[in-house]
Amino acid sequence: MRPRREPVPPVAPMPAYVFLAATVAFIVYGSLFPFDFVSPGLPIDSFFAEYHVFANRSDALDNFFLFVPLGIGLAVAFRRPAARSAAALMAILVLAIGIQLVQLYLPSRVASAADAFWNTVGMGAGFLIAARVRHALRAQLVGHEAGGDLFAAGLLLLWLLYESFPFVPTLDIGLLREHVKGAVFAPTFELMRLVQHALAAALAGIAAARVGLLRRPARGVIALAALALTLEVLVPYGSLRRETLIGIALGLGGGYLAAQWRRDRGASIAFALALAAYLITVLTPYRGQAADAGFTFTPFSHVLWHGAVNDVPPAAFEALAIGALMWSGMAAAPRLRAQPILWSAAVLLLLAALEWVRVAVAGFHGDTTALAMAIVLAPAAVALRAHGQAPPLAAVPAAPALAGAARPAWMLGAASAAALTVAMWLVLKLPGIPYNLKKLFGDQPLFGAAVFSLALLWLGGGPWLVARTVLRLDARRRRGELWAPLLTAGIALVSYLLVDLATPAIMLEKIIGAPDLYRRIVEDNYWGEAWRAGLAAWPAGLVRAGERLLRYLALYSVFTIPLVLALLAIPRRERSARIILNGLCLLPFWLLGKFIVLDWAVTDNLTELVADGGAVFLALLIALFAVNAVLLAGYRRGASTAPVLAVVTALLAGVDWWLLNLGIEPVVINNGRIFSGVQFLLGENRSALLSAPALFARWCALDGAALAVVVTGMLLARRLLPLPEPAGNGRRAG
């Protein structure tokens, strides 16, 4: 009697769809870059002119490997044979042949039937690879070793891609001799090469220990090492160096043993190794990028400009580090396992910050490659970690309410950001908008509005996160008020990264002031020879970046500290003591922010607008705005209180308008023109002056929009991370 076939657990389809969409987007983008279309194009006869498929081997490899991921994506995204066949036919017609025909209109591209042929062959190879992988996974998932960590298996594949691409062995004895020469004749030892291979192999060793699909993991790790070293010699682009050999051996063994020895800290070790690996790509010209401190939004710019095959291993190294960062968080703390999307967002923010470090501090050319790879890897990490049944690093407590609330919160957050993006983009198109606002996003208004919408929502979400963390620390008797300033600086740093990405530097510097400390001390010798000599030893770019960041943090803290204090007043228990302690810790930084923004400002864009003694009125305005926002996002509120809150909001808008006029300079003289500070802030320009009712109407619109944005950010953060009650009886022991 034939044994009954065990059902195979279904794999979440979302990673397959995301991978397929990303592959199609990259093929279209990479094949048509740099989009320099001309009309008329070349005749179609030129498409058939080059039909010798082996005429250009390098070009053939590029086109072959470009479509291998497409075949894998089609195979895993479409499960029914009929749908898979139809999708493959459509891919051949549109992506393999259609894009080649479009290249007839690109002077920088060469359209040929040979390229379409290799595209089709590569897609077919992808189908075969997916079939073999699916068969191997099916054999494992229905056996005794059921349920592996499939994302860890993906990390192993990325490591093999880094070490062994393009996997095609060569039979050329001369090439083989050149590959082995590096291990025999001992060229100059390169420590960085050893570190790179060791870090990547250590991540692979940890993944092999956690993957759960190898029946004998120790032998599997040895087999992986042998396979990688063999391919390192046999592939055309390989080079067997001592550093490579030692790095692979030590890394694989060390990673596997570390994961076995410290199972409870395997994820933490993986995070540290992944961060170290990615920092190598940030602080060194790992991709071969120029040291020009430039930035382009073109992802994979270096790959597109300098050839796909040679630059795939560096991209795989970065993808391995990014994937390990995501995997480590989802395999570590139970809360992160319950909220994988939160950890993915944190990794995206970390990568954005490190990309800023690559450009502003290290001085290398940056792009959006890392973010693009992270956006593709994040859904796979979320779905495949959830699907895998590998033994957890720690018991995960059930959190149905939290997990259930997280998904709608993120969906509402995405919808809010999208609506806010469209709203800002439309506002910039309206007549009568202040001219400085029209230039806020430079030449990319839609992208700038999209990123800036996240920064605006963070105005409410960030303070909520700080207040929640402080209350949780208080509940554990950890002195939360001492952490409040550092947490506030942390959310300010996140905001700075978003705003810096969305707006041109000159627009932000008009408000916070251009970095001028280095010039004044080093070039103009304002503070004497000792200061000049000391600061001259520091890189000028680093000093300017630090000054710019400090000025933004100061300005941001002026607005967020009142919001944090107002949020901390929500829980009634021990409210007075909590407000006093946190106020004593935060108010000095609030005053320091005021001194940096106004008294020590470099630009006069702010100082010329603030009246003498007006800072007190503006501070009161900000405090009332914070109270109003927290009231609207109240923790406990019934429908009957809505009319009362509407009346309070309307009254506070009038009070804020009165305070604004008291705090802003009534007469400003600039280039022979006379106007008020309120006209400068709310008017279209400095020539077409508006009436007082028109200015008040604009103020009400601005105040209402700011309240809506901040309250929305708070509500989204509250839905995702509810505000806890403080500790019970007694303040603290000891």
CA angle 466, 469, 472 (to 5 degrees): 150
Considering the domain boundaries, does residue 556 fall inside one?
yes
Number of Cβ within 10 Å of residue 172's Cβ equals 11
Same domain, 638 and 682: yes
pLDDT of residue 497: 86
CB 485 within 8 A of CB 586: yes
Q: How far apart, in whole angstroms, are the C-alpha atoms of residue 229 and residue 217?
A: 18
Considering the domain boundaries, does residue 329 fall inside one?
yes
Is the pLDDT assigned to residue 173 strictly greater than 60? Answer: no
Is the pLDDT assigned to residue 485 strictly greater than 80? Answer: yes
Same domain, 546 and 452: yes
Is the pLDDT assigned to residue 314 strictly greater than 70? Answer: yes
Same domain, 93 and 164: no
Each residue of 117-143: pLDDT tens digit?
888 888 888 888 777 666 655 554 444
Q: How far apart, in whole angstroms, are the C-alpha atoms of residue 208 and residue 159?
A: 11
Each residue of 556-575: pLDDT tens digit?
888 888 998 888 887 777 77
Same domain, 351 and 407: no
When pLDDT is cut at 50, 70 and 90, the band that residue 336 belongs to is low
CB 276 within 8 A of CB 216: no
Considering the domain boundaries, does residue 725 fall inside one?
no
Number of Cβ within 10 Å of residue 249's Cβ equals 17
Same domain, 78 and 190: no
Considering the domain boundaries, does residue 40 fall inside one?
yes
Considering the domain boundaries, does residue 33 fall inside one?
yes
CB 258 within 8 A of CB 323: no
pLDDT of residue 589: 84
pLDDT of residue 237: 55
What are the CA-CA distances from residue 476 to residues 472, 578, 728 (Å)?
Answer: 6, 14, 10
Least confident segment among 64-68, 82-86, 175-179, 458-462? 175-179
Same domain, 460 and 607: yes
Same domain, 588 and 635: yes
Considering the domain boundaries, does residue 42 fall inside one?
yes
When pLDDT is cut at 50, 70 and 90, the band that residue 233 belongs to is low
Considering the domain boundaries, does residue 396 fall inside one?
no
Is the pLDDT assigned to residue 404 strictly greater than 60? Answer: no
Q: Which of 354, 388, 422 is the last residue of a domain?
A: 388
pLDDT of residue 328: 82
Same domain, 384 and 436: no
With a pLDDT cut of 70, the percent of the chain lying above it is 73
| Backbone angles phi and psi of 179, in degrees to 5 | -65, -35
pLDDT of residue 22: 77
Secondary structure (DSSP) of 582-614: HHHHHHHHHHHHHIIIIIT-SSHHHHTTBPTTH
Q: What is the mean pLDDT of residues 539-545?
A: 78
Each residue of 502-537: pLDDT tens digit?
888 777 777 777 777 777 788 877 877 887 888 888
When pLDDT is cut at 50, 70 and 90, the band that residue 103 belongs to is confident
Is the pLDDT assigned to residue 365 strictly greater than 60? Answer: yes
Q: Which of 130, 146, 162 is the last residue of a domain?
A: 146
Number of domains in the chain: 3
Is the pLDDT assigned to residue 644 strictly greater than 50? Answer: yes
Which residues are 664's β-sheet partners? 610
Least confident segment among 341-345, 584-588, 656-660? 341-345
Q: How far apart, in whole angstroms, are the C-alpha atoms of residue 462 and residue 472?
A: 15
Same domain, 378 and 503: no
The whole domain housing 78 covers 9-146
Same domain, 500 and 632: yes
Same domain, 644 and 616: yes
Same domain, 508 and 578: yes
Considering the domain boundaries, does residue 341 fall inside one?
yes
Least confident segment among 43-57, 135-149, 341-355, 432-446? 135-149
Q: Which of 328, 359, 388 is the last residue of a domain?
A: 388
pLDDT of residue 387: 46
Residue whose C-alpha is closest to residue 524's, from 536, 538, 510, 506:
536
Exposed / middle / buried, residue 43 (Cβ in 10 Å: 0-12, 13-18, 19+): exposed
CB 187 within 8 A of CB 241: yes
Q: How far apart, in whole angstroms, are the C-alpha atoms of residue 577 and residue 499?
A: 35
When pLDDT is cut at 50, 70 and 90, the band that residue 728 belongs to is very low
Q: How far apart, in whole angstroms, are the C-alpha atoms of residue 516 and residue 538?
A: 15
